[in-house]
Amino acid sequence: MRVTRIDVEGAQGKKAAVRRQGDRVAIEVPGSAGQVWTYEAGAQDGAEQGRLARLLQQKLDGHRGTEGDVAGYLRIIQMLAD
């Protein structure tokens, strides 16, 4: 079995998709006027994954969170990166 996409919802009800695309992990965040913003990180680059998790947390929760807030998002990204 291989998981390639996980849909997540933040504390304020905003949603995003986290997906594996080859050697990258991408997040897709809906924007205004039907736009979808895509941000990527290398599947083997822990520092990039951390930055991606912080960005995802800010986009979904609407504020800059603590390391504990970001940790849940990072676990999802890491699961897809394995």
Mean pLDDT by 10 residues, the chain (82 residues): 91 93 94 91 95 96 92 95 84
Q: Where are the domains of the chain?
A: 5-81
Phi and psi at residue 70, to the nearest 5° = -75, -30
Q: Would you state the pLDDT for residue 2?
A: 82
pLDDT the model gives residue 1: 80
Cβ burial of 78 (10 Å; 0-12, 13-18, 19+) is: middle
pLDDT of 31 reads 85
Q: Say what the pLDDT of residue 5 is.
A: 96
